[in-house]
Chain A
Amino acid sequence: DGGITQSPKYLFRKEGQNVTLSCEQNLNHDAMYWYRQDPGQGLRLIYYSQIVNDFQKGDIAEGYSVSREKKESFPLTVTSAQKNPTAFYLCASSMTATGQGDNEQFFGPGTRLTVL
């Protein structure tokens, strides 16, 4: 079955530690995205990638980093510079990132990160 997988489902981190969230898709999509979800705030875009070896900052990129070495993988690292990292993180993909803007984004099941 085609889809997006995220691991782990739950992640606990001590303050000052970096942590990497995994996102893999087998939909053969070019574009991938990372969102952060906080209660009552909807989803906010952290980073996006339109193609392998290319990515751009979203609205709240500070304290995060990404890589896109393979088409199917788009890991997100939450660094110690992120002051309030506790949140639900969602990865998504779409066929392309450009065009008329009507390409559906498919979402993974999410990773809940808690900083202790």
Chain B
Amino acid sequence: KQEVTQIPAALSVPEGENLVLNCSFTDSAIYNLQWFRQDPGKGLTSLLLIQSSQREQTSGRLNASLDKSSGRSTLYIAASQPGDSATYLCAVMNTGFQKLVFGTGTRLLVSP
């Protein structure tokens, strides 16, 4: 059974800092991994999707890496801004299934 864990559970940083969020998964037979953003009481916004054959994806100030063999992914946020404050979720889709297994999330607070 796939299990996804995210560290840290919460993170508070001053504006402008670069930061790294971590995601680990137990079953390396994944089809892809996605990073989502969730604002309080809201749905999910897809940020980055990495196919199993890829090692990283970039979008603006965000960079996500994937090391499938070790079961790890990181989300790097450069020059953080207060508007980045949200919960960040990683989710994996196992090969052969359309189901997403979500991690526990990292609550990020960027203070001005």
Instruction: Indicate whether A and B interact.
Output: no
A contact set with B: CB distance below 8 Å: none
B contact set with A: CB distance below 8 Å: none
